[in-house]
């Protein structure tokens, strides 16, 4: 197995430590053809980043072209606020999972939305009526997506998954003058390469766990032996949420290194590993909308990564989530914005690859200090956190995302429903390992009527020959509920889960356990 190395770069300086909101508009960065023909060379990185696996065989494109360069800034797009001559917009959502279903649901409810299209979508999205699914559109073919957008009059593209982002779909859409919400391929390296993210943290003093990066397994093991266990091993590239091992023993850490660097279990994503200190505390998800210069926080959410009750077993893409997260106080949110989000946005701008989209910061609230440290960045809405955020959002999402595309977030405020929301993920038995596909799922309509405020988002479903729902993925359903408080939202979600007849599925019975008393789950076993 060989790795193709690609150098990122630029050498612009930044005066960090800014703690005030951004109040200036996005500007265009012009790139010459001579620059584009050469590798980008990040001066603050001392060695190569394996990024070819992130972008495939595509070359980077000139992307910093304003889609609406002279648009007047909007004052507010919160619920109940109207923009002058507000247009009705056709929206295309790229992706086909639970996150994309939730986005379709929220976009469809937007007063300025004319229609929602989803490519490829899934059976549940199609059946729900939240979007028209376009199953035959190749979302990795920029020319085909652009042609489709022009034929259908699409005025906004929202990219859900990370893979199309790192492959450069937003680069091509923006270049064609089509507003697209999501980062460029260059900016998506915040998720596509953990090494890139860590070096950015080093340069701009963003608090994160101590680490070292390795391509040689022997050197990695020697460092692990010096540091001791517990310790964390991460594949550098995209690994579908499975490239992280929290090793409680040295043997587990050595096995993780061999899996990535020797056996090649993660392909090119594991050509480089990050060995990171183990942080003790509570994990929380923090989301911010970014327009290149301005950043505004979304509501807090907390997910459950481990597959088993009590946060046991291997990591998954997420087995459930709730919002708001009580641990993320207003004071902590302010600290996160000042010490993590704003320096990141400023740093990316200074490095010549402005970030537009959602910054999803996976944080650890350290037990010993009570302060947040950055574990990782995702460059899109989290799944399943997106589900609980979208059912609580009351603002016009179309106008919010267009404001981000236009560099106008400085005037935006968001409105959220009071109370709480929870999502319980139902997954195929065997997940996150091997699992059977094609198992029958029944009683979904009854489940949505089991209690007020229930919405079932589909992640991995299809229709069988008789038009019934079957499971086609690992994480399959997100049973989402709203309530006056977290306890009510929890009760409603599990009431709906119990109505679903799916022998081939399973779920955690303790979503929200950190924020609810243990006795609350006594009857859910």
For 205-229, write each residue's pLDDT tens digit. Answer: 999 999 999 999 999 999 999 999 9
| CA nearest neighbour of 224 among 215, 212, 235 | 212
Count the neighbouring beta carbons within 10 Å of the beta carbon of residue 307: 18
pTM above 0.85?
no
Does 160 lie in the same domain as 228?
no
The mean pLDDT value of the chain amounts to 84
Listed residues 234, 262, 278: the one ending a domain: 278
Q: What DSSP string runs through 381-394?
A: --TTHHHHHHHHB-
Q: What confidence score (pLDDT) does residue 524 get?
A: 52
The per-residue pLDDT for range 275-310, each reduced to its tens digit, is 999 999 988 889 999 999 999 999 999 999 999 999
Beta-carbon contacts of 398 under 8 Å, excluding residues fewer than 6 positions away, are: 89, 91, 107, 110, 112, 113, 156
We report the CATH number of the domain holding residue 494 as 3.90.600.10
DSSP 3-state assignment of 56?
Answer: coil
Sign of the alpha-carbon torsion through 39, 263, 260, 319:
positive
Does 516 lie in the same domain as 435?
yes
Does 179 lie in the same domain as 236?
no
Beta-carbon-side half-sphere exposure of residue 69 (alpha carbons within 13 Å): 9
Q: What is the mean pLDDT of residues 442-461?
A: 97
Beta-carbon-side half-sphere exposure of residue 243 (alpha carbons within 13 Å): 26
Beta-carbon contacts of 356 under 8 Å, excluding residues fewer than 6 positions away, are: 26, 170, 181, 182, 183, 184, 187, 290, 291, 292, 404, 405
Helix (H) or strand (E) holding 320: strand 320-323
Does 515 lie in the same domain as 464?
yes
Does 162 lie in the same domain as 125?
yes
Residue 177 domain-assigned?
A: yes
pLDDT > 70? residue 464: yes
Listed residues 250, 278, 306: the one ending a domain: 278
Split into its structural domains, the chain has a count of 3
Q: What confidence score (pLDDT) does residue 183 get?
A: 96
Q: What are phi and psi of 457, to 5 degrees?
A: -100, 135
Q: What CA–CA distance (Å, rounded) separates 298 from 313?
A: 30
Question: Are 11 and 43 spatial neighbours (Cβ–Cβ below 8 Å)?
Answer: yes
pLDDT-based confidence at 434, cuts 50/70/90?
Answer: very high
CA-based end-to-end distance of the chain: 46
Residue 260 domain-assigned?
A: yes
Q: What confidence score (pLDDT) does residue 265 get?
A: 86
Residue 413 domain-assigned?
A: no
Residue 228 domain-assigned?
A: yes
Q: What confidence score (pLDDT) does residue 285 get?
A: 87
Residue 333 domain-assigned?
A: no
The per-residue pLDDT for range 476-496, each reduced to its tens digit, is 999 999 999 999 999 999 999
Beta-carbon contacts of 256 under 8 Å, excluding residues fewer than 6 positions away, are: 233, 245, 247, 273
pLDDT > 60? residue 330: yes
Q: What confidence score (pLDDT) does residue 31 get?
A: 34
Q: What confidence score (pLDDT) does residue 519 get?
A: 65
Question: Are 437 and 471 spatial neighbours (Cβ–Cβ below 8 Å)?
Answer: yes
Sequence length of the chain is 525
Q: What confidence score (pLDDT) does residue 170 get?
A: 96
Does 162 lie in the same domain as 222?
no
Beta-carbon contacts of 49 under 8 Å, excluding residues fewer than 6 positions away, are: 5, 6, 7, 8, 42, 189, 193, 195, 196, 236, 272
Residue 453 domain-assigned?
A: yes
**Helix/strand/coil (H, E, C) string of 436-462?**
CCCCECECHHHHHCCCCCEEEEECCEE
We report the CATH number of the domain holding residue 127 as 3.40.50.20
What's the Cα-to-Cα distance from 525 to each of 308, 387, 519, 520, 522, rounded to whole Å? 12, 24, 11, 11, 7
Q: What are phi and psi of 353, to 5 degrees?
A: -135, 80
Q: What confidence score (pLDDT) does residue 418 get?
A: 94
Q: Would you give the DSSP letter of residue 324? A: S
Q: What confidence score (pLDDT) does residue 241 get?
A: 65
Residue 311 domain-assigned?
A: no
Q: What are phi and psi of 159, to 5 degrees?
A: -95, 120
The per-residue pLDDT for range 339-378, each reduced to its tens digit, is 999 999 999 999 999 999 999 999 999 998 999 999 999 9
Q: What CA–CA distance (Å, rounded) separates 480 from 490?
A: 9
Helix (H) or strand (E) holding 114: strand 113-120
189 compared with 80, residue with greater pLDDT:
189
Does 146 lie in the same domain as 217?
no
Q: What confidence score (pLDDT) does residue 60 get?
A: 31
Categorise residue 240: left if φ over 0, alpha if ψ from -120 to 50, beta otherwise.
Answer: left
| CA nearest neighbour of 409 among 78, 156, 161 | 78
Q: What CA–CA distance (Å, rounded) separates 427 from 318?
A: 10
Q: What are phi and psi of 475, to 5 degrees?
A: -90, 125
pLDDT-based confidence at 522, cuts 50/70/90?
Answer: low
| CA nearest neighbour of 97 among 15, 192, 164, 30 | 164
Count the neighbouring beta carbons within 10 Å of the beta carbon of residue 25: 18
DSSP 3-state assignment of 236?
Answer: coil
Least confident segment among 32-41, 155-164, 449-458: 32-41
| CA nearest neighbour of 16 among 189, 197, 200, 292 | 200
Find the DSSP H helices in 138-259.
142-152, 162-166, 169-175, 189-192, 194-203, 217-227, 250-257
Q: Which domain holds residue 240?
A: 210-278
Listed residues 220, 248, 278: the one ending a domain: 278
We report the CATH number of the domain holding residue 264 as 3.30.1490.20
Q: What is the mean pLDDT of residues 412-436?
A: 96
Residue 255 domain-assigned?
A: yes
Sign of the alpha-carbon torsion through 378, 379, 383, 387:
positive
| CA nearest neighbour of 14 among 356, 352, 358, 355 | 352
Question: Are 173 and 157 spatial neighbours (Cβ–Cβ below 8 Å)?
Answer: yes
Does 502 lie in the same domain as 458?
yes
Question: Are 106 and 98 spatial neighbours (Cβ–Cβ below 8 Å)?
Answer: no
pLDDT > 90? residue 140: yes
């Amino acid at each position: 197995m060989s790795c193709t190395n690609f150098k990122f770069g630029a050498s612009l300086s930044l005066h960090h430590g800014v703690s005030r909101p951004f109040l200036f508009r996005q500007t265009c960065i012009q790139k010459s053809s001579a620059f584009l023909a050469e590798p980008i060379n990040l001066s603050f990185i001392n060695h190569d980043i394996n990024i070819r696996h992130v972008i495939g065989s595509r070359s980077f494109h000139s992307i910093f072209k304003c889609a609406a360069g002279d648009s007047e800034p909007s004052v507010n797009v919160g619920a109940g606020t109207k923009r002058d001559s507000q247009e009705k917009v056709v929206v295309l959502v790229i992706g086909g999972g639970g996150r994309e279903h939730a986005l379709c649901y929220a976009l469809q409810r937007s007063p300025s939305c004319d229609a929602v299209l989803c490519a490829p979508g899934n059976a549940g999205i199609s059946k729900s009526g939240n979007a028209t699914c376009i199953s035959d559109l190749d979302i990795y073919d920029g020319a085909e997506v652009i042609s489709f957008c022009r034929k259908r009059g699409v005025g906004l593209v929202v990219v859900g998954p990370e893979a199309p982002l790192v492959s450069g779909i937003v680069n091509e859409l923006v270049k064609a003058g089509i507003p697209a919400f999501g980062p460029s391929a260059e900016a998506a390296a915040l998720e596509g390469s953990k090494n890139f993210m860590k070096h950015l943290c080093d340069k701009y003093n963003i608090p994160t766990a101590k680490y070292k990066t390795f391509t040689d397994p022997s050197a990695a093991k020697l460092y692990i032996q010096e540091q001791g266990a517990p310790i964390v091993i991460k594949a550098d590239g995209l690994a579908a949420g499975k490239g992280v091992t929290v090793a409680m023993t040295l043997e587990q850490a050595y096995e993780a290194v061999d899996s990535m660097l020797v056996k090649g279990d993660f392909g090119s994503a594991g050509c480089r590993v990050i060995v990171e200190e183990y942080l003790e505390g509570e994990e929380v998800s923090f989301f911010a909308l970014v327009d290149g210069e301005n950043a505004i926080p979304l509501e807090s959410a907390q997910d459950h990564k481990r597959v088993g009750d009590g946060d046991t077993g291997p990591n998954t893409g997420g087995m459930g989530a709730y919002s708001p997260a009580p641990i993320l106080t207003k004071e902590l949110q302010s600290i996160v914005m000042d010490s993590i989000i704003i320096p990141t946005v400023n740093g990316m701008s200074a490095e010549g690859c402005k970030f537009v989209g959602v910054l999803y910061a996976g944080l650890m609230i350290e037990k010993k200090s009570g302060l947040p440290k950055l574990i990782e960045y995702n460059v899109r809405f989290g799944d399943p956190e997106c589900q609980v955020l979208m059912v609580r959002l009351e603002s016009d999402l179309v106008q919010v995302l267009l404001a981000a595309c236009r560099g106008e977030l400085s005037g935006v405020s968001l409105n959220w429903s009071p109370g709480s929301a929870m999502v319980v993920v139902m997954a195929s038995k065997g997940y996150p390992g091997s699992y059977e596909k094609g198992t029958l799922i029944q009683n979904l309509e009854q489940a949505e009527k089991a209690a007020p405020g229930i919405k079932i988002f589909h992640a991995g479903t299809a229709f069988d020959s008789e038009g019934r729902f079957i499971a086609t993925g690992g994480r399959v359903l997100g049973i989402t509920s709203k309530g006056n408080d977290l306890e009510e939202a929890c009760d409603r979600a599990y009431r709906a889960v119990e109505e679903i007849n799916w022998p081939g599925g399973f779920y955690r019975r303790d979503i929200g356990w950190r924020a609810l008393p243990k006795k609350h789950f006594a009857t859910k076993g």
